[in-house]
């Protein structure tokens, strides 16, 4: 059956549940979605899939959603691509949104490509900007590629919904509005929809300082300039003091000074925190690809010619073993004031 593009209306965001709670990336996505829906003059809806989440969806409305579709089932406690993609595809076919976005998290980047094939439409990965072209009534998707060397603007002109995953931390959530009202629609799915060829057996939680780096507002990163694994404590202390997380360059991950989950860059994670502090990182292009979309960058490096300074909003050229301890001291003093 031929899809009629004009039958598709409304903006949808995919909410994300982690360990039973609605994750804040869901609210960042609603901030993007609200802007798009207002421009298009349509409703903003959020989808939430999980178990025991029914009572938690009010927050999605306070953060911008007009409608929330809830799928609450014990069989959906853990993310599995099979049931998630089946349910999402079925909902999209029933309600026909024109725009459908998810966070570019491991969940979003797994389930959205599957939905895209099932729905025979386009999907743009890891966008850092979304807007509406009102003349054509099309979603304008902007994303970095080739290690941040180019920005590509992408449209999905001939099929619906127009789908994107959006880089976490690329927008702040809207302030909570307690007075906002909205509709909650509970959808039931059972039988075939809940079947999965993948079984979740265990979750091995990694104990770290702060949030996973992709979710962190502040990332304090280090590279070879830290000289020895035993000095990682200095970075940990600064990160803890600032309420941030610890990132690292490829070199120090390969040396085993810190686990891979902390690696920022082309073969690691892409992060977009409000503040990125690069300590003893020279700034290889592969590293910069993973952090160039940070809001603010600070660099501390003994080599005043280091490439990392070209990307820094503020830099200190000096020995990090002098600079960081003194900085920690000053920050503690100022906190007492």
Partner 1 sequence: MKIVVLVKEVPATENVKIDEEKGIMIREGVESELNPLDLYAVEEAVRIKEKLGEEVEISAISMGPRKAIATVKNAIAIGCDKGYLLSDKKFAGSDTWSTAYTLSTTIKKMIDQFDLILCGERATDGETGQVGPCTAAFLRIPVLTYVSKIEKIGDGKIIAHRAIEGGYEVVEALTPVLVSVVKEINNPRIPTLKGKIKAKNADIPILKAEDIDADEDKLGLNGSPTRVVKISHPRIARKGEILSAAKDLDGAVNGLADFLRKRQVI
Cα 47–168–22 angle (5° rounding)?
40
Q: How far apart are CA 277 and CA 263, in angstroms?
A: 14
Q: Which of 65, 68, 107, 130 binds partner 1 (CB under 8 A)?
A: 107
Task: Report in angstroms how near the CB of residue 229 gets to partner 1 at its nearest.
Answer: 18
82 lies in the site for partner 1, by CB under 8 A: yes
Q: Which of 124, 170, 221, 272 binds partner 1 (CB under 8 A)?
A: 124
Q: Which one, 53 or 112, has the nearer CB to partner 1?
A: 112
Tokens 């590293």 belong to which residue?
287
151 lies in the site for partner 1, by CB under 8 A: yes
202 lies in the site for partner 1, by CB under 8 A: yes
77 lies in the site for partner 1, by CB under 8 A: no
Using alpha carbons, select from 132, 107, 131 the residue that is nearest to residue 25: 107
Cβ proximity of 167 and 293 under 8 Å: yes
Three-class SS of residue 300? strand
Q: Taking CB under 8 A as the criterion, which residues in 27-66 touch partner 1?
A: none
255 lies in the site for partner 1, by CB under 8 A: no
129 lies in the site for partner 1, by CB under 8 A: no
Q: How far apart are CA 194 and CA 191, in angstroms?
A: 6
170 lies in the site for partner 1, by CB under 8 A: no
Q: Which of 18, 39, 54, 180 binds partner 1 (CB under 8 A)?
A: 18
Task: Report in angstroms how near the CB of residue 272 gets to partner 1 at its nearest.
Answer: 13
272 lies in the site for partner 1, by CB under 8 A: no
297 lies in the site for partner 1, by CB under 8 A: yes
Structure tokens at 18: 């982690």
149 lies in the site for partner 1, by CB under 8 A: yes
137 lies in the site for partner 1, by CB under 8 A: no
318 lies in the site for partner 1, by CB under 8 A: yes
Using alpha carbons, select from 40, 50, 90, 99 the residue that is nearest to residue 72: 50
Cβ proximity of 199 and 193 under 8 Å: no
Task: Report in angstroms how near the CB of residue 251 gets to partner 1 at its nearest.
Answer: 13
Using alpha carbons, select from 117, 98, 111 the residue that is nearest to residue 162: 98
Task: Report in angstroms how near the CB of residue 125 gets to partner 1 at its nearest.
Answer: 4
Report CA 22 to chain centroid distance, whole Å. 14
Q: Which one, 68 or 297, has the nearer CB to partner 1?
A: 297
* DSSP output for 250-265: HHHHHTTSS-GGGBBS
């Amino acid at each position: 059956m031929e899809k009629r593009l004009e039958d598709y209306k409304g903006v949808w965001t995919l909410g994300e549940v982690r360990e039973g709670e609605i994750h804040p990336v869901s609210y960042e996505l609603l901030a993007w979605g609200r802007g798009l829906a207002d421009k298009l003059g349509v409703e903003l809806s959020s989808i939430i899939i999980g178990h025991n989440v029914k009572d938690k969806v009010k927050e999605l409305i306070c953060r911008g959603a007009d409608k929330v579709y809830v799928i609450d089932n014990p069989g959906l406690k853990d993310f599995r691509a099979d049931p998630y993609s089946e349910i999402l595809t079925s909902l999209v076919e029933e309600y026909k949104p024109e725009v459908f976005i998810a966070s570019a998290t491991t969940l979003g980047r797994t389930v959205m490509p599957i939905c895209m094939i099932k729905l025979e439409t386009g999907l743009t990965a890891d966008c850092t900007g979304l807007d509406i072209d009102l003349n054509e009534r099309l979603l304008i998707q902007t994303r970095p590629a080739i290690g941040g060397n180019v920005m590509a603007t992408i449209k999905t002109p001939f099929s619906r919904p127009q789908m994107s995953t959006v880089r976490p931390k690329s927008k702040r959530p809207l302030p909570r509005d307690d007075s906002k009202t909205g509709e909650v629609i509970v959808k039931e799915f059972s039988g075939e929809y809940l079947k999965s060829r993948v079984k979740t057996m265990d979750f091995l939680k990694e104990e770290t300082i702060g949030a996973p780096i992709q979710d962190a507002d502040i990332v304090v990163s280090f590279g070879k300039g830290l000289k020895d694994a035993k000095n990682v404590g200095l970075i940990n202390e600064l990160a803890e003091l600032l309420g941030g997380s610890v990132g690292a360059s490829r070199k120090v991950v390969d040396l085993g000074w810190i686990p891979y989950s902390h690696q920022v860059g082309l073969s690691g994670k892409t992060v977009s925190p409000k503040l990125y502090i690069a300590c003893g990182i020279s700034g290889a292009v592969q590293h910069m690809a993973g952090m160039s979309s940070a809001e603010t960058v600070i660099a501390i490096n003994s080599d005043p010619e280091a490439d990392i300074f070209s990307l820094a909003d503020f830099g200190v050229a000096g020995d990090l073993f002098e600079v960081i301890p003194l900085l920690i001291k000053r920050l503690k003093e100022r906190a007492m004031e």
